[in-house]
Amino acid sequence: MHPEIAQCLRMIAKLNYIMGEHAEAMAYQQKAVLMSERVNGIDHPYTITEYAHLALYCFANSQVSTALKLLYRARYLAVIVCGENHPEVALLDSNISLILHAVGEYELSLRFLEKALALNIKYYGAKSLKVAVSYHLVARTQSCMGNFRSALNNEKEAYAIYKQQLGENHEKTKESSECLKHLTQQAVVLQKKMNEIYTGKNGASLPPIQIQPPSMVSVLDMLNAINGIIFVQISQEDIENFKAEIEKRQLSEESEEQDLNAALPEPVKNH
């Protein structure tokens, strides 16, 4: 029972998660939470962090309700410890909103997202990548609610930041551009149909809003992104090159050690 052991358990859990072993990650993270509660206290910043990590792993194991409860608890403690206006609260709000988005609670999700957006602008600046992600999440939620005009405006903000910070050819910029095209098409179709209704054309009715419900995989990918979990794809060739480099270094070190021993006087060798 020691604070550093709790942090080690968290790192083991994270490694398991990155390797795709979600059940093992959750098991180790549960131990990290219990140990941190005992050695640090339930309102310690480390313990709040452990709750957030456990929530992510629970969601990855399809325990959506448990994940949401853990995040609500983490947020409650974070607000008690450091107040509403703290960057970590923005991260927790983003996590909560994504899980609410996954279960179709769009209005409540949007409330948390708007709070997270305001805090990110306050602490990281209006042109930071964290703010761009918040704008994109807000736009995505608004599009699911059928509010394409507001969604379009927010996605434009995200696109402008990505273009300025990353350039036109970056994956994120292109993704935002495609999202803008889709939102524009939906907004045009909706406005055209509403104009027909206002002009009194017979049989005119609002078109069905094309809403693609979020998949658990896409939500999990976004949760990984906002929590700083990056999966690096390593090819077999890279692995082999890495092994060869390690063996080369080991041989070099052994050779240097042999040369050193050969250069030492005999009494020193025996000693």
- pLDDT for 230-265, tens place per residue? 766 666 677 677 778 888 888 887 777 777 777 766
Residue given tokens 């990353």 in the structure block: 166
- What tens digit of pLDDT does each residue of 42-66 get? 999 999 999 999 999 999 999 999 9
Instruction: List the structure tokens of 199.
Output: 């002009």
Which structure tokens are listed for 268? 């020193």
Residue 135: what residue type?
Y
Q: What is the pLDDT of residue 209?
A: 54
Do 10 and 53 touch, CB atoms closer than 8 A? yes
* Distance, CA of 177 to CA of 162 (rounded, Å): 10
Alpha carbons 228 and 226: distance in angstroms, whole number: 5
Average pLDDT, the chain: 86
Better pLDDT: 229 or 47: 47
Joined together, the tokens standing for residue 74 give 């983490």
The Cα 150–Cα 148 span in angstroms is 6
Q: Which burial class, exposed, middle or buried, applies to 61 when counting CB atoms under 10 A from its CB (0-12, 13-18, 19+)?
A: middle
Q: CB–CB of 120/130 below 8 Å?
A: yes
Q: What is the DSSP letter of 170?
A: S
Lowest model confidence (mean pLDDT) among 99-108, 159-168, 172-181, 241-250: 241-250
Query: Against a cut of 0.75, is the pTM above it?
Result: yes
Tens of pLDDT, residues 173-227: 998 998 888 888 877 777 676 676 666 655 555 555 555 667 788 888 889 888 8
Helix (H, G, I), strand (E, B) or coil at 18: helix
Distances (CA, A) of 222 to 22, 39, 102, 135, 208: 16, 32, 11, 13, 27
